Structure 1
């Protein structure tokens, strides 16, 4: 079943507006609250199980990827949602709606480009944006509990002076820690198409903006369903919290000069998992016949990606830093009585 959102006033296509947070009509300006949205406003078209459907507006035949949940008609621009791919076991629990519009995303990306200290100057003009797409990326979120038992050797070092001598005293201690930690809303992207590193670097999202999932949030955007279930991605979630566990362990032994763990046992269990859709602006930037892919958090505007590097700027930074270092060393030598070379 294909879902179109038609304006009751003028019949034009409605889509989610990131600024007002409503289902909005661009023609007559009608706005409908999604929380109070009436199912009577939905226009549906029954389709078979193939990936082909017909746009209700213009009748164009559109082919969708099997993972596509929401898309736009490339002929007339109508936003549609494929209901079967957001129902049953495929129904998300929550969604964080876009709060940054397309125009705001373009402006934010251009501002980000101008801050590149070692990117080419003509890249910094940010006038080669090839495409920018707003899409909801599928994530699993986990509430985890970790029980950690650590044992090792801690040292406390003290220096003191007695007469003409300076002494260093080192004491050794057996250290044990039994830690119980809870982690909530640990996100792991569930799309095989998305770069895991890019998605991880987009964090954090404002999780206080999580909304109960409703299909109108997807209208006018691209969305995909998950490719991996929560059990398949659980190991990644556990790996993501390991660095936080190590940091917390270190914080519990801060009274020691050093701590060397000898044995560490971590048992992390899933308490709860839920399927969510998170907003991402994907930006394709063409520079010297090569496409560079960037991602932007659709709520915070954080941009991640790897821009090209200017060899000229890199050389300038290198020699600049090297020159300052040499100057400092010469000044230190001079003030120590060595004279300037």
Structure 2
């Protein structure tokens, strides 16, 4: 089933507005509270093969979508639609963080980010080659995890002192055992096959206190994807995401020793809870010298991630400047040492 939100006043599409948090009609200015959407805003019908196509209710065009697409816009008239059968049952997200950065704000923030590039080419920094900017809700699984950690180690503490003409080193040996219980909540893992995992990881953190109960109206005017991987498939990645934190905590409990030789280590991480969420991302397609560069922006915080091109000329200047700075510091240090001698 395809759901669209039509304005009762003029019949145009209503979209979710990131600034007001309301469903807004840009034609007549009507606004409706997303928490209490009138029934007359819902216009739904069934197509023969909804898994592959839907008919735009605004202009009647037949549109083909990929099987993962849950919300999209008509390529002919720009009308927004939510494909409800892909957001129901096991496919229904539990929570969503709505967009708070508008398309215009996202474009301006991206331009400012480009201008800060120390090693990017001057032409790239002008930021006037935005090919497209798309608001997308990306599927994530969130995990609450519990880790039970047991570690045994042989540790030493050494003390060196002088007595008479002799230097002594006294070493004490300790058998250390740690039984640790750790809880981690809301560990996010990107569940879309299309999205680059490294790019999505770098967009964090999101303000998870802004998670809201999912309502389809939040998707109006944006693209949304459903997950490709379920929570069981992504559980190993969730465990790997916290592995570094676990190791750091273990190290902190064994600090203060001269040496630590870990004899045994057992880490048992279990899933306490998992739930499916949609997180807001602005995807920016930027064209520079006939080559496309993809960047992502956190739709809540404005954080931008991606790899811009590097200017070879600026790179050489930077390294030469760094080398000259090091040489100058070395000369000062050498002069101080020589003067002291």
With the shorter chain as reference, the TM-score category is over 0.9
Q: Deviations over 1:256-302 (max 9, x none)?
A: 34433232111000111101111011111111111111111111111
CA contact 2:69–2:225 (8 Å) conserved in 1: yes
Other structure's SS at 1:116 match = coil
Quick one: distance in 2 between partners of 1:167 and 1:293?
Answer: 62
Give the structure 2 partner of residue 191 of structure 1: 192
Report the alpha carbon displacement of residue 40 of structure 1 after superposing the two structures with TM: 3.4
Give the structure 2 partner of residue 20 of structure 1: 20
Give the structure 2 partner of residue 314 of structure 1: 315
Distance 1:7 1:234, change over 3 A: same
Quick one: distance in 2 between partners of 1:66 and 1:334?
Answer: 70
Give the structure 2 partner of residue 293 of structure 1: 294
Give the structure 1 partner of residue 229 of structure 2: 228
- Structure-to-structure mapping, 1:156-235, within 5 angstroms: 156-162=157-163, 168-235=169-236
Q: Tell me the TM-score normalised to structure 2 length.
A: 0.95
Q: Deviations over 1:111-164 (max 9, x none)?
A: 111111111121111111111100000111111110011122333344445567
Give the structure 1 partner of residue 137 of structure 2: 136
Note the residue ranges of structure 1 that are not aligned, 5 or more in a row: none
Give the structure 2 partner of residue 151 of structure 1: 152
Quick one: distance in 2 between partners of 1:37 and 1:8?
Answer: 11
Quick one: distance in 1 between partners of 2:288 and 2:118?
Answer: 17
- Structure-to-structure mapping, 1:242-281, within 5 angstroms: 242-281=243-282
CA contact 1:131–1:284 (8 Å) conserved in 2: yes
Q: Deviations over 1:310-330 (max 9, x none)?
A: 111111111111112122222
Give the structure 1 partner of residue 38 of structure 2: 38
Q: Tell me the TM-score normalised to structure 1 length.
A: 0.95
Distance 1:323 1:77, change over 3 A: same
Other structure's SS at 1:336 match = helix
Distance 1:169 1:22, change over 3 A: farther
Matched, 1:29 2:29: yes
Note the residue ranges of structure 2 that are not aligned, 5 or more in a row: none
Matched length: 339
Q: Deviations over 1:77-98 (max 9, x none)?
A: 1100001000011111011100
Quick one: distance in 1 between partners of 2:115 and 2:159?
Answer: 50
CA contact 2:161–2:167 (8 Å) conserved in 1: yes
CA contact 1:45–1:56 (8 Å) conserved in 2: no
Quick one: distance in 1 between partners of 2:115 and 2:242?
Answer: 34
RMSD (Å), alpha carbons: 1.7
CA contact 1:96–1:211 (8 Å) conserved in 2: yes
Distance 1:307 1:171, change over 3 A: farther
Other structure's SS at 1:260 match = strand
Quick one: distance in 2 between partners of 1:293 and 1:9?
Answer: 39
Distance 1:311 1:260, change over 3 A: farther
Other structure's SS at 1:35 match = helix
Give the structure 1 partner of residue 9 of structure 2: 9
CA contact 2:144–2:184 (8 Å) conserved in 1: yes
Moved more, 62-71 or 145-154: 145-154
Give the structure 1 partner of residue 103 of structure 2: 102
Moved more, 72-81 or 245-254: 245-254
- Structure-to-structure mapping, 1:71-90, within 5 angstroms: 71-90=72-91
Q: Deviations over 1:240-261 (max 9, x none)?
A: 0101101111222233344332
Report the alpha carbon displacement of residue 30 of structure 1 after superposing the two structures with TM: 1.4
Quick one: distance in 1 between partners of 2:12 and 2:213?
Answer: 26
Q: Which runs of 4+ in 1 moved over 6 A?
A: none
CA contact 2:284–2:296 (8 Å) conserved in 1: yes
Distance 1:153 1:9, change over 3 A: same
Quick one: distance in 2 between partners of 1:157 and 1:319?
Answer: 45
